[in-house]
Amino acid sequence: MKAAIFTEPGKPLEIAEAEIDEPRPREVSFRTSAVGLCRSDLHFLDGVYPYPAPTILGHEAAGVVEAVGSEVRHVQPGDHVVSFLAPSCGSCRLCQNGQHTLCQDPSMQRAPDDKQRLSIGGEDIAQFLNLSGFAEEMLVHENAVVKITEDMPMDRAALIGCSVVTGAGSVFNACGIKAGESIAIVGAGGIGLSAINAAKIAGAGEIIAIDPVASKRALAEKMGATKTFDALDEDVVERVIAATGGGVDYAIECVGKAVTAQLTWKILRRGGSAVIVGMIPPGEMMEIHGPEFLQGKSIKGALMGAGHFMQDMPRLVDHYLAGRLDLDTVIAERIALEDINDGFEKLRSGDSTRSVIVFD
């Protein structure tokens, strides 16, 4: 199969042939229909987060099931599916507590000393985040895919696998926002725009979008933002607080920087909550002065929207098909696998919301 190979940080991905194994018990093989270029991939591509190389990056994918191993029950050949990078076992303490995205059960991966699912030139390689989506085919544990209706366009379905479930989940699950409450979204990329759209669906009274790029602020307004602010303005904190009568009930960080995480904390009202979903690089620290906790504010992280993807993804598909969730605006371009490096360059420069690779 053709794939985009990550060889080392800082180097362009190489389009080359890779091999994929046959599905074993509880494994699903599917032909990739579409996969999004996510900033999380860029963190690994640029070496911000280390990962064994060579490998095949990519984790925001959708496709059609071709084969299943024994014991697979919830999908079959021909089903349309969306992948998920944080599969849950369903039985560990975290899963039983409803913290499905935090599950670390190793049984959904092949043992390190066993033959791996992917190889290049006959040599086994590590599978990226249980998925490796920048390839014509994927082989994953059955708990890493969810069946969706065939009515859902695959290029938009792919986005649900990361940016949409993360952004929308941060609103629906991590915040649990109620109608009429106020929320600020810091960063209007794929995740941030999805969070803005979700806040509109949830009936938020005030939806603030904060981003340094004017075109992205315009997209945020199209998605449902009631007010927008330039993140680079020196007085952005004061302006948001003034515009909201004392700060927002919730603030979500969708960029992955300590400075923007700090911003979400500062624009909260007394008793407000900040949720960090961006991948802040190792070593970056934010500062909170002790007395500020006496204001009743809180801050927490939310991996992949802190939800249950088996339930959340079909609901998000329903929202799209009903016209409530706007995924068309989020897609900046549709490209071929061979154009992947150009797509990442646009993402790196901040010129693009979401490039989606569409396979023939």
Name the nearest CA neighbour of 236 among 196, 197, 263: 263
Closest CA to 101 of 149, 147, 161, 38: 161
Per-residue three-class SS string for 49-107: CCCCCCEECCCEEEEEEEEECCCCCCCCCCCEEEECCCCCCCCCHHHHCCCHHHCCCHH
Closest CA to 221 of 243, 199, 239: 199
Question: Looking up tokens 């303490």, which residue turns up?
Answer: 93
Strands laid side by side in the 55-56 sheet: 14-17, 2-6, 55-56
Q: Check if the beta carbon of residue 63 is closer than 8 Å to that of residue 73.
A: no
Hey, what's the torsion of the CAs at 332, 174, 238, 226, to 10 degrees?
A: 50
Catalytic residues: 38, 40, 43, 59, 162
Taking CB atoms within 8 Å and a gap of at least 24, the contacts of 70-76 are 70/25, 70/26, 71/25, 71/26, 72/23, 72/25, 72/26, 72/27, 72/28, 72/142, 73/142, 74/142, 74/147, 75/28, 75/142, 75/145, 75/147
Strand partners, 273: 250, 298
Contact residues for 189 (Cβ-Cβ < 8 A; gap 6+): 39, 163, 216, 254, 255, 353, 354
Q: Which residues of 261-276 are buried (b: 16+ CB within 10 A; e: fewer)?
A: bbbbbbbbbeebbbbb
Structure tokens belonging to residue 351: 């010129």
The distance in angstroms from the start CA to the end CA of the chain is 13
